[in-house]
Amino acid sequence: MTKGNDTASSAAATLFRTVVQIPPMHTRIGYGDTLLSLGSCFADNMARRMQRAKFRITASPTGILFNPESVARAIEAFDAFDTDKEQDGNTALPPQVRDVECDSGRYFSYDFHSAFSAADAATARANMAKGLRAGAEALTKAGTIIITFGTAWVYRLRRDGRVVANCHKQPQALFERTLLTAEQIAARYDALFDGPLQGKNVIFTVSPVRHLGDGLSGNALSKSLLRVAVEQICQRHPKAEYFPSFEILNDELRDYRFYADDMTHPSDVAVDYIWQRFGLSDAPRRRGRTAYSAGGRTPTIRPRLGTVPHVLPYDGKSYRGTRGAVSDYGLCRRKGIFRLTYRIRASIHWTQGRRPKLNYMLREKFVNLPPKPRKR
């Protein structure tokens, strides 16, 4: 091979971007798990991807929460909410959240998103109680909680000094703007891991969305404090781990074509890519892993998050199969690329004395095939 060919081959093999290396995550997420997602608007985007993939996830029961203190207060409110008690519009909200207030004929709470506001106090309280009930049920059932921090800048209501989750376009004179320190955030979540979060897997992320209202320098300061706080939390608690969504967008996808029209929020392409990286973050640990039933003969192949876009119900076919057996396939052409779609046996859950529970998953593989010869 000539020197020119060597140079060309080297250039072709060069990857013109910095790939963020994600260490294997110990948290395993499957379709049988219940999830709870809290945090910024980026958390909502990721939760919608998981809902589309048919995961059982509850996203932001009290609305979008940008700062760590508001997320912590929401978790405490979920934990204190009595799900057995009938709630109506005349029932006061738990002491962890503020009661409704009225401004210009609109009732709202500083601890809830404006979507929970209403024209009368009873309806507003009922909406908020419904959100708290959903959060309390999800917190009780969830084995994994995904928390996304958006900013370390917070607004405190001057009359009581407590951080608000939403200012509801109230006069600026009512609030005091302060910056949380990494130590304050870490200490706040230390208490949660000894309480409502005890025994639960928690995946922390830092939102890659820049808060331009804080200024670029203020945004950089805020994100750095959030990252340091998450690192301290993960070092203290083995059930906590970090997924680098912030680094993926700002270091790996550092181009404005991966941003929306406002040049601040990530585009759908960027969110999809981060979702794929999130799904494959534990692939090295799961590849080839099988678990065996009490009988010791039927393997259970655990589906991997990110490789299972759809789940198909059991269709009555024979469940005596091998791992990865192809049961159906099809071939269609789309934009000059052949898409090979095949349905494989994803998992067989065997319980002694019962019929096996069989799930299928749909996987797609793009392949370039030569044109099919015409019959003469």
Mean pLDDT value of segment 98-118: 93
Lowest mean pLDDT among 15-24, 98-107, 133-142, 326-335: 326-335
Burial of 136 (0-12, 13-18, 19+ CB in 10 A): buried
Q: Per CATH, the architecture of 16-285 is what?
A: 3-Layer(aba) Sandwich (3.40)
pLDDT at 327: 37
pLDDT at 282: 52
Residue in this structure with the two tokens 């700002």, named with its chain if needed: 250
| Bigger pLDDT: 25 vs 349 | 25
| Bigger pLDDT: 317 vs 95 | 95
Q: Residue 310 pLDDT > 80, yes or no? A: no
| Bigger pLDDT: 118 vs 31 | 118
Please tell me whether residue 344 adopts helix, strand or coil conformation: strand
Strands 201-206 and 299-301: unpaired
DSSP state of 256: G
CA distances from 66 to 74, 228, 294 (A): 12, 17, 46
| Bigger pLDDT: 312 vs 205 | 205
Strands across the sheet containing 240-242: 56-59, 34-39, 144-149, 201-206, 240-242
The pLDDT > 70 percentage for the chain reads: 68
H/E stretch holding 257 reads none
pTM, full prediction: 0.72
| Bigger pLDDT: 17 vs 204 | 204
Q: Residue 196 pLDDT > 50, yes or no? A: yes
pLDDT at 3: 52
What gap in Å lies between CA 363 and CA 376, rounded to an integer? Answer: 34
What gap in Å lies between CA 161 and CA 176, rounded to an integer? Answer: 8
Q: Give the start-to-end residue ranges of the domains of the chain.
A: 16-285, 289-367
Q: How far is Cα of residue 146 from the mean position of the Cα atoms in its chain?
A: 5
What are 52-105's pLDDT values in tens digits? Answer: 888 999 999 999 999 999 999 999 999 999 887 766 555 668 888 888 999 999
Mean pLDDT value of segment 140-155: 96
What are 342-373's pLDDT values in tens digits? Answer: 344 344 343 344 444 434 333 444 444 445 55
Average pLDDT over the chain reads 76
Backbone phi, then psi, for 165, in 5-degree steps?
A: -85, -25
Q: Residue 15 pLDDT > 80, yes or no? A: no
Residue 125, both tokens? 């309280």
Angle at the Cα of 77 (from 36 to 115), degrees rounded to 5? 70
What gap in Å lies between CA 132 and CA 129, rounded to an integer? Answer: 5
The pLDDT > 90 percentage for the chain reads: 48
